[in-house]
Structure 1
């Protein structure tokens, strides 16, 4: 199942790139493996996938120890400040930096380990109450403050668009963030290398690619629905 699903996702990525006149090499597929067993991850790995995304620190750390060391783990879920020290030396990229306080914690823990941590700022473009992230109006100010941290590197932006039945409804979200991203690139802020735009999930990654995403986070489209025990997700 995983291999067939991956083939379809890759074809859709290629088609979206073709429609947008983009080089498919500009788009990285992050296979969201939250709640999935190692055997399914190994199946995707055997098909050439090396970028995997996890929502929870504990799960990322366990899989980091268990699976191949050339896997690039992405922290894509909400990150609590008290768990930063567990993940900063394991994740190649933290997509979900959603507050100045979290960035300060990453700086503090990275300094202790003499690391430089690559991050994306999570932007709540649609300003949904249920989502984390900076408001678009506050993001430039946050970028300029975090850019001063010597052990943190801002690599770009991330957003989680609203859940919609028709992916076209999210086009304005992706377009708006891309416009802001391009604007930030043009300002050449020191210690900010604005070259990653993480947007689009299983339901809307094709639209996100058409609007400039460089990273798409696809879980159910590759692995199917999440495993559950009773009513509780695991």
Structure 2
């Protein structure tokens, strides 16, 4: 990262404390004088021998001015901090939600939820987002979320959004007390396991609150994507959970669409409507739709997404 250094200069007659490197001393072509004394911004990272925080003084007594180099990042770097990226994403989410509402899309009273995907990111990065106001985070790996949940504030809402094997369900459910939602249920075996583990955990913790879950639907047909097929298979899985999984609370649907193919969002919206009708679940809008990621969360909101999962745009590339 470049830092900005503020120098005072008078023509070619300048004194710099401490002694500059030879590279800096050779720079005698300082122009554009303003009343004999002016200022020049230099990319300090490119000036060998530069010392952040050092004091620089112009020689001529009539124009003696004392300046301290700034160690702050350039404005572009400041605008690219994690906090500013998070704020930009939140602003974009709100704008997309407002636009969708103006076109008749119905959202929960709480609005569209931003899930900050923090997988593979250190706890320091999660804490930085937390201190900027973010409370909902998504993780893909059981051991990672178990570790982070133990080290980070208890009021964080953890969403598990990655593929989940049934043999990992116990660790996830019993070791993450603030697990708010599992978004990737896609088999009856996994649903049964999660339900049993949740009931055991509730007995241990002294409450009977079921675990909130979403059913992951494969809307793209890609071999690399997990999820149950839309239609009868999705309906049968949800019906099974409603009838046989007292430890679970079915909250809606999730999908990972094909990049650039927004028809995947249409498929999930249609699936919600048909599911609500077939199983008498009430108004479709009461079921959550988790769809949209860094590259397509705004189009997803236009289609009615109630939660978007954004990682790279907030935390940077992995």
Check if 1:119 corresponds to 2:189. no
For residues 286 and 236 of structure 2, the distance between their equivalents in structure 1, rounded to whole angstroms, comes to 15
For residues 35 and 150 of structure 1, the distance between their equivalents in structure 2, rounded to whole angstroms, comes to 33
1:52-91 pair list within 5 angstroms: 52-89=137-174, 90=176, 91=179
Question: Do 1:184 and 1:194's aligned partners in 2 also have CA atoms closer than 8 Å?
Answer: no
Name stretches of at least 5 consecutive residues in structure 1 with no aligned partner.
227-234
For residues 127 and 100 of structure 1, the distance between their equivalents in structure 2, rounded to whole angstroms, comes to 20
Question: Do 1:93 and 1:120's aligned partners in 2 also have CA atoms closer than 8 Å?
Answer: yes
Aligned equivalent of 2:268: 177
Task: Supply the RMSD in Å over aligned alpha carbons.
Answer: 2.0
Residues 56/193 of structure 1: CA separation in 2 closer, same or farther (3 Å cut): farther
Aligned equivalent of 1:134: 228
Aligned equivalent of 1:217: 309
Aligned equivalent of 1:231: none
Deviations 1:45-74 (A, max 9, x none): 111110000000000000000000100011
Aligned equivalent of 1:201: 293
Q: How many Å apart are 1:154 and its aligned residue?
A: 0.6
Q: How many Å apart are 1:80 and its aligned residue?
A: 1.1
Check if 1:145 corresponds to 2:240. yes
Aligned equivalent of 1:154: 250
Residues 111/193 of structure 1: CA separation in 2 closer, same or farther (3 Å cut): farther
Aligned equivalent of 2:60: none
For residues 112 and 11 of structure 1, the distance between their equivalents in structure 2, rounded to whole angstroms, comes to 41
Aligned pair count reads: 220
Deviations 1:136-177 (A, max 9, x none): 021011111111121111110000111x3xx4x2x2111121
Question: Do 2:115 and 2:309's aligned partners in 1 also have CA atoms closer than 8 Å?
Answer: yes
Q: Secondary structure at the match of 1:125?
A: coil
Q: Could you tell which deviates more after superposition, 111-120 or 95-104?
A: 111-120
For residues 147 and 118 of structure 1, the distance between their equivalents in structure 2, rounded to whole angstroms, comes to 12
Question: Do 1:55 and 1:75's aligned partners in 2 also have CA atoms closer than 8 Å?
Answer: yes
Q: How many Å apart are 1:220 and its aligned residue?
A: 0.2
For residues 172 and 235 of structure 2, the distance between their equivalents in structure 1, rounded to whole angstroms, comes to 26
Aligned match for 1:18, one of 71, 90, 98: 98
Aligned equivalent of 2:85: 5
Q: How many Å apart are 1:193 and its aligned residue?
A: 10
Check if 1:46 corresponds to 2:46. no
Q: Could you tell which deviates more after superposition, 202-211 or 21-30?
A: 21-30
Question: Do 1:9 and 1:221's aligned partners in 2 also have CA atoms closer than 8 Å?
Answer: yes
Aligned equivalent of 1:109: 197
Name stretches of at least 5 consecutive residues in structure 2 with no aligned partner.
1-80, 203-207
Report the structure number with the largest CA radius of gyration: 2
Instruction: Give the alignment's TM-score, normalised by structure 1.
Output: 0.88
Aligned equivalent of 2:24: none
Q: Secondary structure at the match of 1:39?
A: helix
Question: Do 1:156 and 1:193's aligned partners in 2 also have CA atoms closer than 8 Å?
Answer: no
